[in-house]
Amino acid sequence: MSQQYPLKEVKGDAVCFVPGSPLFSVLMEPASFCYPRLTFLRSPYGQFGASAASSQDLAPWPQRLVTQRWTRPVDESPPAAMSRNGYFFEESGYLKCDMDDGCETKEETGGEELFDAVNNTVVSGDSIRFFVNVNLEVPLNAADENESAGCVLLHTSRKYLKLKNFEEEVRAHRDLDGFLARASIILDETATSLDDVLREMLKHFAEDPENMEPSCNFEKIMSTLFTDSGTPREGNGTHDVSDSTGANIQTCTSHLKFHLLSDTIQGVTATVTGVQYQQSWLCIICTIKSLQRRHVCISRLERPQNWGENSCEVRFVILVLAPPKMKSTKTATEVGRTFATMFSDITFRQKLLETKTEEEFKEALVHQRHLLTVVNQRPSISDGHKSHGSKPLKLHEFLNVGKGISDDIARRFPVYALDFTDGIIGNNKAIGKYITTMIFLYFACLLPSIAFGSLNDENTGGVIDVQKTIVGQCIGGLLYALFSGQPLVVLLTTAPLALYINVIRGICDDYNLDFSAFYAWIGLWNSFFLVMYSLFNFSLLMKLFKRSTEEIIALFISITFVLDAFKGIIKVFKKYYYSGRTGESYLEKAPTDAIPSLGINTTFLMNSSVSRSMSLENQTGTHDVHYGRETAVLSLMLMLGTLWLGHTLYQFKKSPYLHARVREILSDCALPISVLTFSAVGSYIFKEIEMSKFNYNPSESLFVLAPVQSLSIGSVMSAMGLGFLLSMLFFIEQNIVASLTNAPENRLVKGTAYHWDLLLVALINTGLSVFGLPWIHAAFPHSPMHVRALAYVEERVESGHIYETIVSVKETRLTSLVANFLVGLSLLLLPFPLQWIPKPVLYGLFLYIALTSIDGNQLFERVALLLKEQTAYPPTHYIRRVPQRKIHYFTGLQVLQLLILCGFGMSPLPYMKMIFPLIMIGMIPIRYNLLPRIIEAKYLDAMDAEH
């Protein structure tokens, strides 16, 4: 029977007790030096003795002890561990001498240490059952000789994983169900070393017919679990080195092999003194290429095992194996997170220790899953903040007249001065970002004003032209920038408004009404209804618009930009490419109506082009200006070139070229650079090719009051109906764009002002209506792009996917003020040089706006999932919380709603286009009453969640 030897520390000598030998070595040192702590941890066999190891196993024992005092308690657990040929040494690192005991301060040697410390790792051995803390010091010359043999690099990476939410993350239940269906459980494992335990678990895999992997090499899996996979074992050797006392000591110089687990998950708890590890369980994860499916094995050890620091009393080992190409929610880490969450509960681990059979073990797992699900449900029921968003609206909230406006003013007025000084005064200046944003916003406001102004000029016969559109944009934009509650919202005249103006012109022609008066009355009724909406807090209804509904409308607007661009380029091809070079043959067959969207009157353009070409021919005798197929091809090149250059520069900030600040400037100025570049290409480089330009007819007077008294009472009442439909469009567009601008991911901090901004838009459009200027409202995607231009963005990587996250946004009024002021000054640039901008460049601008607007649209991302393999799915919140089939169902229903909205909004019948705002409102009952009958409400809420 082996004996139990007491642990001693004697000043002047170092005593080591080892299995099988009462005394291993006694080294006498001068009393002025300090000695290392000697720690013996309990053997798994209960005591040190011959059963653990023999003294000859310690032949290559390092002979040099660091002569410094160890100041920590003798019985403290070892701080680090390492392995060499089955022996485990814990290196404590250098500590200063205790000067109170007369110790001399000893300088650290400049040579490389023979062993490097490895913190917070799990070690494994086959025979040794104890740890000895030593410091090894080698002279400089010995370190140089042994550098290649004794020094290796170990990369350690730690990251925190969130506990899996069993109530929200559907994969948690599926992981456990998959394990229970093919349960691999080992109870009361008698193996004591980590290597033996893992071999038994892999052997259990191999013998289980349900877990058979025909092409899998379990010995290779065993080696992959550790950091020393592929490290050579040969090359052992010794040589003599001399210590500071002159003694010759034999030291091993073999290749060191660090036998440490590569990838583990452990439970930790943050305390005042640091991080406390849960040491009774260990989750080991590994990715193996040869595997065909995921495997999980749980082993309960017969008695606690000590496998190093932070794993001193391990009773449970969870082994997770998975192939590399898996969906982001099915990876080895995600499966390990599921079981690690369950084992992090100490009460659950105690219950598992009491189980006798595998069936009881499984029942305990199922019961723990139920408890985790119930616990996670409780906060969502009791948390008033979370439930506030879904609190039903009450009638008295709408009868409290003006409360929303007063609350908005009280919220935003205290920070009004900061809207002018942020980024200008103080430490965090952002003048450069302001300048680039002003340039971007100037072009983003001016070019649509030119395009829609040209369209309005054609539709109204010159009553509303480019000049008036620019004036209305300047005045309305300046007023909104000065007095709005959310100045980051951008006001513009849009395609739906141009459509309404075209319908109004048609009604006036049919009933012989004065267009200016009828237009003014519709605008006044529209403003009246908007004032009522703001006074009676109707913006509260926007709570009913879920994120999915907002994204349907946003994607619809993006599609309208794309269709407008393609309609324009198709008209160009019909006119120039298919008609040949003789304009006369085409003129006979050309339609006389105006081109829808952003096109111009075909007959007018052809007549002007032909007459201009003929006049040049008569003057010079040759065709100096050509039009025909080359015009169509060049138009296509200009449109696609504007799109390509703009989007390339917009994405340039993600490239590794140039300096980060230069990349950011190029990205912010992508729109103006692309427009100016291809305008120069079309109007200067290819100046001999005729290109379509927007019409410019200078107005005699910009500010003429409309004769509102000239209409009869019946006409005024009919204008009220059209004004009501127009107010619905204004109400939805204004509030949805404001909601997208104030989205939580944008991290705006100064608050919202939905009611006050709606009132301000009503007042602005009142003035625009009576002077015959085009209406304006919040524009998408210009407003979110304005926020993006003022944002500081950082990239994060999750499961191999790169995400851009907004850190902060400079909330200022200066960019919008300056941009709209510059738009007003652009009147001095009419007709030239602004008329040098070809229409195909404007079409390319619309494509660029549409392409950049879908960035971050979850509906578009979910449609793209249908074309991706599962391994490429991003680890988004809805991928984690919702079954894949439900995601595709929901996406299909959203696409169906989008098609219905497009059917009304893009109908060739003008009166159907006017009622499409009612279709938008009709999406609310679809979301609340119809969709929950098809998809569970919890899944709908998860996909409508912000993150």
Query: What is the residue-wise DSSP string for 453-522?
Result: HHHHHHHHTTSS-HHHHHHHHHHHHHHHHHH-S-TTS-EE--HHHHHHHHHHHHHHHHHT--HHHHHHHH
277 sits in which H/E element: strand 274-277
Q: Give me the pLDDT at residue 503, please.
A: 87
Residue among 872, 885, 879, 880 at smallest CA distance from 858: 879
Q: Give me the pLDDT at residue 405, please.
A: 94
Is residue 184 helix, strand or coil?
A: coil
- Average per-residue pLDDT for the chain: 75
Which pLDDT band holds residue 799 (cuts at 50, 70, 90)? low
Greater pLDDT, 444 or 946: 444
| Mean pLDDT of all residues in 345-358 | 90
| Mean pLDDT of all residues in 190-210 | 84
Is residue 278 helix, strand or coil?
A: coil
Q: Answer yes or no: is pLDDT of 129 > 50.
A: no
Q: Answer yes or no: is pLDDT of 44 > 60.
A: no
Q: Answer yes or no: is pLDDT of 757 > 80.
A: yes
Q: Answer yes or no: is pLDDT of 10 > 60.
A: no
Given a contact cutoff of 8 angstroms between Cβ atoms, the answer to whether 853 and 784 are in contact is yes
Q: How would you label 747-772 residue by residue, b for 16+ Cβ within 10 Å and e otherwise? A: ebebbbbbbbbbbbbbebbbbbbbbb
Residue % of the chain over a pLDDT of 70: 72
Q: Answer yes or no: is pLDDT of 408 > 90.
A: yes
Q: Give me the pLDDT at residue 576, please.
A: 84
Residues 6+ apart with CB under 8 A from 874: 328, 798, 799, 801, 861
Q: How far apart are CA 93 and CA 646, in angstroms?
A: 57
Alpha-carbon torsion angle 469, 470, 472, 474, nearest 10: 160
Greater pLDDT, 143 or 363: 363
Residue among 89, 83, 95, 79 at smallest CA distance from 34: 95
Q: Answer yes or no: is pLDDT of 523 > 50.
A: yes
| Mean pLDDT of all residues in 240-269 | 56
Q: Give me the pLDDT at residue 404, please.
A: 92
- Tokens 């879904």: give the residue: 390
- Judged on CB neighbours under 10 Å (0-12, 13-18, 19+), 542 is middle
Which pLDDT band holds residue 150 (cuts at 50, 70, 90)? low
Phi, psi of 849 (to 5 degrees): -65, -40
Q: Answer yes or no: is pLDDT of 147 > 60.
A: no
Task: Map 751-820 to HEC letters.
Answer: CCCHHHHHHHHHHHHHHHHHCCCCCCEECCCHHHHHHHHCEEEEEEEECCEEEEEEEEECCCCHHHHHHH
Given a contact cutoff of 8 angstroms between Cβ atoms, the answer to whether 479 and 757 are in contact is no
Partners of 804 in the β-ladder: 795
Which pLDDT band holds residue 158 (cuts at 50, 70, 90)? confident
| Mean pLDDT of all residues in 233-247 | 38
Residue among 842, 846, 844, 835 at smallest CA distance from 693: 835
Q: Give me the pLDDT at residue 943, please.
A: 84
Given a contact cutoff of 8 angstroms between Cβ atoms, the answer to whether 275 and 269 are in contact is yes
Q: Give me the pLDDT at residue 524, please.
A: 95
Q: How far apart are CA 777 and CA 89, in angstroms?
A: 73
Tokens of 868: 């991706």
Q: How far apart are CA 287 and CA 916, in angstroms?
A: 53
Q: How far apart are CA 38 and CA 70, in angstroms?
A: 9
Range with the poorest average pLDDT among 322-331, 620-629, 636-645, 912-921: 620-629
Q: How far apart are CA 893 and CA 573, in angstroms?
A: 36
Task: Map 645-687 to HEC letters.
Answer: HHHHHHCHHHCCCCCHHHHHHHHHCHHHHHHHHHHHHHHHHCC
| Mean pLDDT of all residues in 232-248 | 39
- Tokens 């440490």: give the residue: 260
pLDDT digits (tens, 9 = 90+) for 661-690: 898 889 888 999 999 999 999 988 988 888
Q: How far apart are CA 342 and CA 319, in angstroms?
A: 14
| Mean pLDDT of all residues in 384-400 | 62
Q: Give me the pLDDT at residue 134, please.
A: 37
Tell me, what amino acid is at 448?
Answer: P
Distances (CA, A) of 641 to 272, 492, 574, 741: 60, 25, 21, 29
Range with the poorest average pLDDT among 191-200, 232-241, 551-560, 832-841: 232-241
Q: Give me the pLDDT at residue 454, please.
A: 86
Tokens of 658: 């140039």
Tell me, what amino acid is at 524?
Answer: L
- Tokens 């404590």: give the residue: 92
| Mean pLDDT of all residues in 247-268 | 62
Tokens of 447: 């070019």
16 sits in which H/E element: strand 13-18
Q: Give me the pLDDT at residue 477, please.
A: 95
Q: Give me the pLDDT at residue 417, please.
A: 92
pLDDT digits (tens, 9 = 90+) for 688-738: 888 877 777 776 777 889 888 888 999 999 999 999 999 999 999 999 999
Range picked from 27-36, 122-131, 646-655, 915-924 for highest mean pLDDT: 646-655
Q: Answer yes or no: is pLDDT of 334 > 70.
A: yes
Q: Answer yes or no: is pLDDT of 65 > 70.
A: no
Partners of 82 in the β-ladder: 89
Alpha-carbon torsion angle 414, 415, 419, 420, nearest 10: 60
Given a contact cutoff of 8 angstroms between Cβ atoms, the answer to whether 19 and 130 are in contact is yes
Is residue 302 helix, strand or coil?
A: strand
Q: Give me the pLDDT at residue 861, please.
A: 87
Range picked from 218-227, 525-534, 866-875 for highest mean pLDDT: 525-534
| Mean pLDDT of all residues in 546-575 | 89
pLDDT digits (tens, 9 = 90+) for 167-195: 878 888 888 888 888 778 889 888 888 88
Q: How far apart are CA 371 and CA 367, in angstroms?
A: 6
Q: Give me the pLDDT at residue 470, please.
A: 93
Greater pLDDT, 656 or 812: 812
Which pLDDT band holds residue 390 (cuts at 50, 70, 90)? low
Q: Tell me the pTM.
A: 0.67
| Mean pLDDT of all residues in 5-19 | 40
pLDDT digits (tens, 9 = 90+) for 805-831: 888 999 999 999 999 999 999 998 888
Range with the poorest average pLDDT among 208-212, 286-290, 616-620: 616-620
Is residue 688 helix, strand or coil?
A: coil
Q: How far apart are CA 331 and CA 387, in angstroms?
A: 33
Residues 6+ apart with CB under 8 A from 696: 465, 466, 467, 830, 831, 835
| Mean pLDDT of all residues in 79-88 | 34
Which pLDDT band holds residue 498 (cuts at 50, 70, 90)? confident
Q: How would you label 704-731 residue by residue, b for 16+ Cβ within 10 Å and e otherwise? A: eebebeebeeebbebbeebbebbbbbbb
Range with the poorest average pLDDT among 57-66, 155-164, 457-466, 861-870: 57-66
Q: Answer yes or no: is pLDDT of 288 > 50.
A: yes
Is residue 84 helix, strand or coil?
A: strand
Q: Give me the pLDDT at residue 800, please.
A: 62
Given a contact cutoff of 8 angstroms between Cβ atoms, the answer to whether 553 and 901 are in contact is yes
pLDDT digits (tens, 9 = 90+) for 130-146: 333 333 344 444 444 44
Tokens of 124: 């494994």
Q: Give me the pLDDT at residue 113, please.
A: 34
Q: How far apart are CA 508 and CA 320, in angstroms?
A: 74
Greater pLDDT, 356 or 696: 356
Is residue 793 helix, strand or coil?
A: strand
| Mean pLDDT of all residues in 321-329 | 83
| Mean pLDDT of all residues in 765-777 | 94
Q: How far apart are CA 462 and CA 465, in angstroms?
A: 5
pLDDT digits (tens, 9 = 90+) for 927-938: 888 899 898 888
Q: Give me the pLDDT at residue 616, please.
A: 36
pLDDT digits (tens, 9 = 90+) for 444-463: 999 999 988 888 888 888 88
Q: Give me the pLDDT at residue 270, please.
A: 79
Helices (H), 573-624: 583-589, 602-620
Q: How far apart are CA 294 and CA 607, in angstroms?
A: 72
